[in-house]
Amino acid sequence: MDASAPDIKDLEDQLDAAERDARALAAALAEERGGWHAETGSWSVAECLDHLASANRVYLQAMKEPAIRAREQGRFRRGPATPGFVGRWYVKTMEPPVKAPFRMKPRIVEPRAAAPLANAFASFRTSQDEVRAFLREYADLDLAGVRFSNPFVRGIRFSLATGLHVITAHERRHMWQAWRVRRAAEAAECPDSEA
């Protein structure tokens, strides 16, 4: 296992950054503010975190079997865990700020309605540990060469490397969204305060 390789370390750093961001986001946020919605049909801070936990698990589930097969076949690391051309483009569409043509809401990872903030945050942290465990366990594989079926876009196959980069970009996307919701909730609470 080569978990010390710069590309693997970079992915771990991205996961750590998302977790720090989530901790700061949830810090001192009252439960009712964590469940606040800017408008009907929008997600709360808690729902953003809950969605990330669900999406991470669905992605990992799709990636696990191909990783196990790759290990059995001896498909070990040949280069860095970086996405190819199409994968890079897809990862870029996940990055904030979110642009309207690239908004997707797959039903299989819709957040639980009125997810409690503390529970959603704990679930997100657990999913982060699961992604880190996957990354460490399979860091020695040819992550850029082993493919899996994207669980959200039928007919598309990505490399495991792309999948890992999608997870981290997707986390940044919804952290951006959640911070916007938190700021809107705080502004609604104190409409007369100006920065």
Rounded Cα gap, residues 113 and 93, in angstroms: 26
Answer for the pair 90, 158: CB distance below 8 angstroms, yes or no: yes
pTM of the model: 0.90
Write the pLDDT tens digit of every residue in 154-193: 889 999 999 999 999 999 999 999 999 999 988 887 665 4
Q: Which domains does the chain have, with CATH numbers?
A: 6-188 (1.20.120.450)
Write the pLDDT tens digit of every residue in 99-113: 655 555 555 566 667
Phi-psi region of 155 (alpha: psi -120 to 50; beta: other; left: phi over 0): left
Residue 195 pLDDT > 50, yes or no? no
Rounded Cα gap, residues 178 and 107, in angstroms: 19
Q: State residue 115's pLDDT score.
A: 79
Query: Residue 29 phi/psi, 5° resolution?
Result: -100, 120
